[in-house]
Amino acid sequence: MEAERTTMKQFMKGASLLTLATLIVKILSAIYRVPYQNMVGDEGFYVYQQVYPFIGIIVIWTSYGVAVALSKMLAERVEEERRVVRQIALRLLIAGSIAFWLILQLGAPLLAQWMGDLQLVPLLRNVSWLALLIAPIALMKGELQADGRMDVIAKSNVIEQFVRVAIVIASAALVTTSGLSIYDAGKYAVLGSVAGSLVATYTLWKVYRLSPKQQPSISYGAFTGVRRELVTLSISLSASSLILLLFQLVDSFTVFQALSVHETVQESMRLKGIYDRGQPFVQLGILVATSLSLAIVPMIAHYEKQRRYRSTESMTQLTIRIAVVFGVAATVGLWLVLPPLNVLLFEHNEGVLALRIFILQIVLLSVIFPLTAILQGKGYVGYPIMIFVIGVVLKSVITTPLTIQYGIVGASLSSVIGLTLITICILIVFRRHVVRGVLGKQYVSILSSATLFMVVTVQLTLSLLPVVTLHERLQAMVETFASVGVGGASFLFVVLRYRMIREKEWYMVPFGKQLAKLQLMIGKKR
């Protein structure tokens, strides 16, 4: 019993480390886009964002789909069966890597034509080299995670992202100093992702090569069974992480061409670049929901295995309550401060309405991510996949007509409509199979009060600050930081004063210990 408790403690420590590394990676992924856009402009940002979904899908499916699925399959088997699974997985991954490489190398002209920009061909071909690293990275991460070496995986993830970000920003700097084109900047930026993955491969290999390997014989029946399980698990585990990237992929094939119906090519590129500014806002806005989703799956699966259903239910309710409160705060807060924030980060205030609609995705994703994670933890893996497919199909159908009619505002609407459908369907499945009435009247009342208080204080702050006139970007910085500070403090004060989340429950979120202490201090002053 004591050994099991120690093993679980080590597992949770490793999972926490991996979650922290994932958050660092996601923060870096959101932040580096700002200096990149500042150096290459909206047109240059458009170029990189057109091919980024291909990069993201390969990286996410490899690291959070195949690797996690493989680790689960290996952890559930004895050593002899593990050898068989390892060999089958290696063969499948090599075949998949070569297939992706061929599709992107040979199909690049066709894909670029579908996107409406043939100058993207070299960028797509550069992405293909990333596909060749799917097999080694997924296999090594899967085995190391099954063996509990999550520290190695966390280290490789962070190093990979640092290398990628450094080369992406350096490629943008080349444009401003050497007169290269924005497409050249995009090509080098893509190679930054390849370089990052190569460094990650080496980091993993240094540890992985020390473990002994054997070549078992493999039957056809075993091959078919492992293939089916690996594909199904990898897709289900990475589905929620892939949904944003799939929506971006739809945008890559539709938005630019739809804008070109009424605009020049140059103006369409610029508008698509403005539209793509919404991505880093959304990525930062869903950080809490992402961290909770990563942490909740192993915990719920552990409780389910031990038949501790009461613990599962309380963990489920807490996860949703925390995700929703931060999702609402991030969405409303960004909506309010977007005009000065847009100027501060991107130099001018174009596309505010489109971006405000775009960031509504934050609150929807803050519901989708934890609910999907809980359903997966309880074994309901098929429902989310079907629902996500329906959402992507809807997004694909409505993006072009809405964009032709309303420009980038219509493109933003198409994403929100698609995610709204997904949210409704996920909620229906969740209520039917897991639990009803997670958010009580008191919770909703406190959340509404906190949101209203934040709106009033931020609007008051923004109305008073223009009295001091500064340089436009400096003025935007003052307005942004002042309103974020006032609004965040106002929202948090109401949430803590009325104990929307109990002290011990705060420990599930980053800086939760400090929030719990602050809540106790505020409570004593009542």
Check whether residue 95 and residue 204 sit in a common domain. yes
What is the domain extent for residue 359? Answer: 277-379+438-526
- The span from the CA of 248 to the CA of 496, in Å, is 37
> Are residues 117 and 4 part of one domain?
yes
pLDDT at 8: 47
Looking at residues 225-246, what average pLDDT do you find?
Answer: 81
pLDDT at 377: 72
For residue range 88-106, what is the model confidence (pLDDT) as tens digits? 888 888 888 999 999 999 9
Average pLDDT over residues 331-340: 91
Whether residues 124 and 186 share a domain: the answer is yes
What is the chain's mean pLDDT, rounded?
83
Where is the domain boundary, 254, 288, 306?
Answer: 254
- Any domain includes 385: no
pLDDT of residue 323: 82
Q: In the predicted model, is pLDDT for residue 466 greater than 80?
A: no
On whether both 89 and 146 belong to a single domain, the answer is yes
For 263-321, how does the pLDDT look when each residue is reduced to its tens digit (9 = 90+)? 999 999 999 999 999 998 898 888 767 766 666 655 666 665 666 656 666 777 777 88
Would you say 254 and 400 are in contact if contact means Cβ atoms under 8 Å apart?
yes
Query: Does the pLDDT value for residue 250 go beyond 90?
Result: yes
How high is the pLDDT of residue 297?
58
Q: What is the pLDDT of residue 465?
A: 74
Say what the pLDDT of residue 9 is: 52
- Please determine, for residue 221, whether its predicted confidence score (pLDDT) is greater than 70: no
Confidence tier at 1 by pLDDT (50, 70, 90)? very low
Are 17 and 128 contained in the same domain?
Answer: yes
pLDDT of residue 16 exceeding 70, the answer is no
Distance CA 116, CA 256 (A): 7
Check residue 3 and give its pLDDT: 46
Of 42 and 147, more confident: 42
pLDDT of residue 214 exceeding 80? no
Q: Decide if 241 is inside a domain.
A: yes
Is 22 a residue whose pLDDT tops 60?
yes
Q: Three-state SS for 264?
A: coil
Whether residue 242 sits in one domain with residue 338: no
Q: What is the tally of structural domains in the chain?
A: 2
Distance, in Å, from the CA atom of 319 to the CA atom of 313, rounded to the nearest integer, reads 10
Does the residue 11 lie in any domain? yes
Q: Residue 473: inside a domain, yes or no?
A: yes
403 in a domain, yes or no?
no
pLDDT for position 104: 93
- On whether residue 73 sits in a domain, the answer given is yes
Mind listing the pLDDT tens digit for each residue in 473-510? 788 888 888 888 898 889 988 888 888 877 777 776 66
Looking at the structure, tell me whether residues 222 and 98 fall in a common domain.
yes
- The 3-state DSSP class for residue 439 equals coil
Residues 47 and 98 occupy one common structural domain: yes
**Section 155-164 average pLDDT:** 87
Angstrom distance (rounded) from CA 110 to CA 89: 30
Instruction: Tell me how far apart the alpha carbons of residues 474 and 324 are, in angstroms, rounded to a whole number.
Output: 33
Report whether pLDDT(386) > 60: yes
Q: How many helices (H) and strands (E) does the chain have?
A: 20, 0
> Same domain, yes or no, for 164 and 297?
no
Last-in-domain residue among 201, 223, 254: 254
